[in-house]
Amino acid sequence: MTSNNYNPLTDTFIPKPLERPSDERKFSDSAIAELEEIVTHYPERKAACLPALWLAQREYGGSLTPAAISEVAERLELSYTEVEGVASFYTMYNLKPRGRHHVEVCTCLTCALLGAYDIVHRYEHELGVSIGGTTDDGEFTLSEAECLNFCGGATVIQVGDKYFSGVTPDNCLSLIEELRNSQKYTPSQLADSIVKIQTPGASTMGGGSFTSQDLN
């Protein structure tokens, strides 16, 4: 055994301590003002955890580092563990950096029966990554998704805040091409568009539902 966290007395491995969040704080003055506005919509500060995490995802460049989680905990008077539990439960929060486009293919029953795995394999081949991977150029992260609650439109793919339905192995590559040529989104912009829904006077951008017709 070469690992230095092996305990020969108990023949067990001592779990490595969790990464300690650094003390860096990245919320800008305007982000703090947005958070304080959002907090007024809730009966208590901690109830604003979900929108606060979107704010943090924007302020920290698209993903929730331990420092981002720590800052949310501090500003909402929650423990680090409480916020981490929320951030790790919902897949829309990025606990590690993701590509500019996060392509999530629903592989639940209805979509699977209509070719979702053929689409996944075509994407893996096209992008040169496996499920969970991010392309070297940082453009795409490929994931499987649980039922996206649009089974009538199978096969369904979610990219950020957009749904594409009726995707088939034959038309799926045109979605990749379309995204590649789109300059519109970054993970931070997506987080920002969701924060804006909660703050007054803000305009939203993006979002919506699309069909395979839009891919042609």
Q: How many CA atoms lie within 13 A of 36 on its CB side?
A: 7
Binding stretches for ligand FES (CB under 6 A): 106, 108-111, 147-151, 154, 156
Residues contacting residue 176 through CB under 8 Å, at least 6 positions apart = 103, 123, 126, 127, 140
- N-term to C-term CA, the chain: 56
**CA proximity to 142, closest of 166, 168, 116:** 116
> Which single residue is written with the structure tokens 């992260």?
141
Minimum Å gap between C-beta 146 and ligand FES is 8
- Helix (H), strand (E) at residue 162: strand 162-165
Nearest to ligand FES of 37, 144 (CB atom) = 144
Residue of 17, 18, 20, 26 lying closest to 68 (CA atoms): 26
Instruction: State which residue, 113 or 202, has the beta carbon closest to ligand FES.
Output: 113
CB of 154 to ligand FES, least distance (A): 5
Supply the minimum distance, in Å, between the C-beta of residue 209 and ligand FES: 12
Q: Which is nearer to ligand FES, 73 or 111 (CB)?
A: 111
Distance CA 152, CA 174 (A): 21
Quick one: 80 or 150, whose CB is closer to ligand FES?
150
| 110/209 with CB nearer ligand FES | 110
